[in-house]
Amino acid sequence: MRTVNRSAVVVVPKQPFLDWLHRVDPTSGKLTLADLGDDPSIYLLPEYDLESELQECLQEACVRIFEDQLNGWYRAEELWPEDRSLGIFQLWFDYHFHSVLVDLAEEPLIVEDL
């Protein structure tokens, strides 16, 4: 076992995200919050000791995370909400920080750029 020198934030869409998705994508009508939360995204952040430091990091990363979430469900950027600030992020997503990441895999980590 090895620990990884990162923190993580798990991001799960909330009702405002689903409402937006239903408005912009007519094929999404049967999707539910449970569907959107079945396999939440996990984002690695720099390693921090205090949650206040993680909140600050989230402030800096929230636009990138927000856009990744939007892009994962609907790629037409012209229909994305213009305001992707931390305040709107907090309305649209639940998130939970994790400070200890343990790698149980035997294989080496492979980093792929997106």
| Cβ neighbours of 92 (radius 10 Å) | 21
**pLDDT above 80 (res 10):** yes
User: For 38-75, how does the pLDDT look when each residue is reduced to its tens digit (9 = 90+)?
Assistant: 999 999 999 988 878 888 999 999 999 999 999 999 99
Each domain of the chain, given as residue ranges in start order, spans: 2-103
pLDDT above 90 covers what percent of the chain?
82
Mean pLDDT across 90-109: 93
| Cβ neighbours of 45 (radius 10 Å) | 19
